[in-house]
Amino acid sequence: MHTEVEPIVTRLQQDVPAAEARIDDAMIALLSLTTSVVAARRDTAGVPAAKGHAMIQRLAKAQMSLVDISGEVFRVHGDLVTIGRETAGYDIHEDCPLQESAVVPLHAVA
């Protein structure tokens, strides 16, 4: 690997998984908020079911936006891997702490 490329690769190896993890954290936080909002609506006496529905729709829309963002970042990750292989013969997945756990069998989450 070229000496001038090493700091770039090192930074990307840290920044890409960190960004992916932060997006996951944001999705989890938003799902938690959505759960709290729906539970509060359900558990508050005298609140009609239709009350707060627009807010729940906005939360669901925000969640889908995060899912879209996550997909875009994963595509960027793939593009970086391709560039690394083509230009330096390097695989950014090497030393990537999230790589081993990135693929989860469906039976593990079902």
- Whether residue 9 contacts residue 89, with contact meaning beta carbons closer than 8 Å, is answered with no
The span from the first CA to the last CA of the chain, in angstroms, equals: 42
Per residue in 51-94, pLDDT (tens digit) is: 888 999 999 999 999 999 999 999 999 999 888 888 776 555 55
User: What global pTM score does this model have?
Assistant: 0.71
Per residue in 82-108, pLDDT (tens digit) is: 888 887 765 555 555 544 444 445 455
- Whether residue 70 contacts residue 20, with contact meaning beta carbons closer than 8 Å, is answered with yes
Calculate helix-pair angle for 53-88, 6-43, nearest 10 degrees. 170
d(CA 80, CA 18): 15
At position 41, the amino acid (one-letter code) is R
